Amino acid sequence: MQHWIIDREAVALDNWRAALPRAQVLGREALAGVRFAGDGIIWVRMRFGEPVIQAVSGVDRSGGQPLVVLADDPNERVVLEALAAGAAGCCNSHAAPAVLRQVVLVVGNGGLWVGQSLLTQLVGATTRRLAQLGEVRANDGWTASLSAREAEVARLVAAGAANKEIAARLKITERTVKAHLTAIFEKLGVRDRLQLSLRVNGLKI
Amino acid sequence: MQHWIIDREAVALDNWRAALPRAQVLGREALAGVRFAGDGIIWVRMRFGEPVIQAVSGVDRSGGQPLVVLADDPNERVVLEALAAGAAGCCNSHAAPAVLRQVVLVVGNGGLWVGQSLLTQLVGATTRRLAQLGEVRANDGWTASLSAREAEVARLVAAGAANKEIAARLKITERTVKAHLTAIFEKLGVRDRLQLSLRVNGLKI
DNA sequence: GTAGCGACTGTACCTTCGTCCAATAGCCGG
DNA sequence: CCGGCTATTGGACGAAGGTACAGTCGCTAC
């Protein structure tokens, strides 16, 4: 598994080096045009006072790799914003190497890394919000009629990936991606990938 | 690591046995007074139609072990309720052993196991909620660099409209729509209409 | 005036998307 | 074992999306 570390100054802290010895460190300015490919985790350092949006912006997420925010000043708000920005987790920049390795295990296997204190708040708020929305979207059930593979493709499309990228990520041909998409469109009754994206993202029923 | 499986009928499915060979299976009625001790994971099966609360209630959580809900009928709502009830994750009762082992890895290391499909919903809902609260960005400023006409086109694209539809709606030619889009992509630094949609809808930074 | 900008349109061309035909292979339940 | 579902791929093709180069028109600022 590859690790990419993104920092404004392209500096890697000692604890990162210890936990992720083979990581590739990238500066913010060197980020333009960089496309991440293959299995791996993207780590983004958020320095003191730096907004999450700014730290995460410019990072290519089309490869589908999970992103973890390393915050100099972590707090619940920051973690929430990081998750909202699509991160799979957020932890202290100066966390011990053992903790970072744990994060790798969790995030690399599709989990979310969230501090316990935040969990209650996040879930509570989200639950209330969904209840307010009439629970329609929470129960949209777009996955129900799809096979596991189709759902996987649907999610990647919803995240903005192109067919070629999906093919590379799932290690199948572009032709197969198209086949899955045709099936998905038919099952969900949408006409193209953009409508699918809206549906998956709960913006359209 | 110890695994405790709790089921109303004290039945263990084959996939559980495969993934958690040394697990201890407990019936609901045998649960009274049981105190879990040591490192491990508590698995609770939620049968069809059974409410989360009922499935989780009565389980001793004082030992601090993470709890995972195995749902016969998993959907976003169930997962959210499970998380709200203090579970560290929720997955399909009939998930493949490989998936269950992955869950062990994630949850055992302090992570949350959330299905990818829910993740999208959760993140989307959280984003919208934050936007509503004005905490993060009611408007991340994508309109700032666009002209009035471009913003209009951008909104229609974000809503899922095709170029031809936009042209008809705005009473201009499809060619002009394309011209506006080219300018929009350039200004916002996105590569196509799907990425634009995500940006406008606040799902991607 | 004229330089700049935004809106608008045209021709041409390439890429990506989506669908049609068809096929092989594995798995699972009856 | 067979029917049905799923995953996979191929070739071909029309439709839609997107770019490059070029041009007109009206408004505004210097």
Domains by residue range for chain A, with CATH: 2-127 (3.40.50.2300), 148-200 (1.10.10.10)
A-chain CB neighbours of B80 within 8 Å are 123, 126-127, 130, 138
User: Which tokens in the block code for residue A18?
Assistant: 């210890």
Q: Measured in Å, how far apart are chain B's first and last C-alpha atoms?
A: 40
Rounded mean pLDDT, A135-162 = 78
Detail the DSSP E strand segments found in chain B: 2-7, 24-27, 40-46, 67-71, 89-92
Please report, rounded to whole angstroms, the spatial distance between the CA atom of protein residue B94 and the C1' atom of nucleotide C30.
21
Which strands sit side by side in the sheet containing A24-27, from one edge to the other? Answer: A24-27, A2-7, A40-46, A67-71, A89-92
Query: What pLDDT, on the 0 to 100 scale, is given for residue A148?
Result: 84
Print pLDDT tens along chain B (205 aa).
Answer: 888 999 888 888 888 888 888 888 888 777 777 778 778 889 998 887 777 777 777 787 776 778 898 888 777 677 777 877 778 888 888 777 777 877 887 777 777 777 655 555 565 555 555 444 443 344 556 777 888 889 889 989 998 999 999 999 889 999 999 999 999 999 888 999 999 998 888 776 5
A133 and B119 within 8 Å at the Cβ level: the answer is no
**Å from A165 (CA) to C23 (C1')?**
25
Does pLDDT of A131 surpass 80?
no
> Which of A:159-178 have CB within 8 Å of B?
159-160, 162
Nearest CA distance, A175 vs chain B (angstrom): 20
**Phi, psi angle pair for B112, to nearest 5°:** -110, 135
φ, ψ of residue B70 to 5 degrees: the values are: -100, 105
pLDDT tens, position by position, A162-181: 999 999 988 999 999 999 99
Average pLDDT over residues A50-55: 74
